[in-house]
A and B are shown apart, each in its own frame.
Chain A
Amino acid sequence: MKKTSVLLCAVVLLAVNSGFAGDKTFDNVVHHIESHYHAHRTAGFLMGFAGLTVKFWHPAGVKNLKMALFDDRQFLKAEEDTQFDDVVRSALDEGWQPVVHTHSLRSGDHTYIYAHPEGKEMKLLMVVLDPGDAVVMQVRINTDQLSKFVKDHERHGYQYHDRQEHREQEEDEGL
């Protein structure tokens, strides 16, 4: 029984990781955060489960998800970390294109968004580091499915707004 569980876990982990085989940047950034700040991932199992769910279900056109959360409050000296920028920027060597980079010495926030278009799909890498926590996320999305999802939910939003407005009108008339 134990062997079966271990085997199952191995297969699941392999399935989750295979979607991004060859993408070293995510691993490099996570490794740097773990080794440089001695930070530990939080909700690792949950993130793995989310990755697995996404792999088979593809909600909103999201086909693969890799996410690492750090909530150790150990990033207060991130400004002194001169290597961090280089580690994230190594994504450029893998064909990633920088989209957004913001950094604030005042608040200690760093945000990087990189994109890698692949036909109808788009890979996005997001790295957010602030003094309290860090998030590293990589997703592969089907752009058509995602835009359809957004448009559908926009419509639902308006329908909800209309219902709410109608209810408020009825309440006003009742008073």
Chain B
Amino acid sequence: MKETISRMKRLGIVMLFAVASLALPVQGQGAKLQLNNLEKLSHKASEVVDVTLDGPMLQFASKFLDDKDEDEVKAKALLKGLEGVYVKSFEFDKDDEYSAEDVEAIRAQLNGPGWSKMVEARSKRSHEIDEVFVMKAGDKIGGIAVLVADARELTVVNIVGTIDPNQIRELADHFEPNHEQSKHKKDKEHKGEKD
């Protein structure tokens, strides 16, 4: 009897670890999409853009942000939570150079656990489908995926990592055109008022 209980306990612990290891990828690596199936399109596309910014590159980029600047500190905090930014974009000279299976392979991942579709825009005229997917991680975002597909273009943007929705708004402000100059002007005016 004791042996059975101890076996059950061990089985319970193993099950717990198994469930935990399954749950972990949903929070971190799970947000990273497998886009290798798109590699073959490089040879058919007339324009290809492939960007891979992962941990070390993002940390490298964050070094250029000033610790004394309020906005840049916020941007740095956002970058700290990011694990990777991946972009694959293909433009074709002819229609239907990529197959429906190529897109479905990505969409299947986005239909997996953790992901939920936030935006879908379809145009019958241009045969364009724009979709935005978000992976939730508690009250924060664990990953974002943007899929844009039309007859002559296929673009996938995948952002992996913990993102606070409020930080996105702040970052959007940060990258607003002339943000730096106007901020510098404001700082100067503020300094003048003090003097």
Q: Which A residues are within 8 Å of any B CB, using their own CB?
A: 97-106, 115, 117, 122, 143-144, 146-147, 150-151, 158, 161-162
Contact = CB atoms under 8 A, between A and B. Distances in A.
B6 to A, nearest CB: 47
Contacts of A103: 42, 47-48
Contact of B60 (A105, A106, A143): A143
Contacts of A162: 188
A143 B47 CA distance: 32
Given A117-B60, A147-B64, A98 B52 contact: yes
Interface residues of B, number: 21
Nearest to B42: A103
B184 A105 contact: no
Contacts of B188: 162
B64 A150 contact: yes
B128 interface: no
A161 B47 CA distance: 38
Contacts of A101: 48-50
A97 B54 contact: yes
Contacts of B8: none
A161 B180 CA distance: 12
A117 B54 CA distance: 11
A164 to B, nearest CB: 12
B56 to A, nearest CB: 4
Contact of B63 (A102, A147, A161): A147
Contacts of B49: 100-102
A115 B56 CA distance: 9
B42 to A, nearest CB: 7
A101 B43 CA distance: 13
B57 interface: yes
B51 interface: yes
A99 B51 contact: yes
Nearest to A124: B60
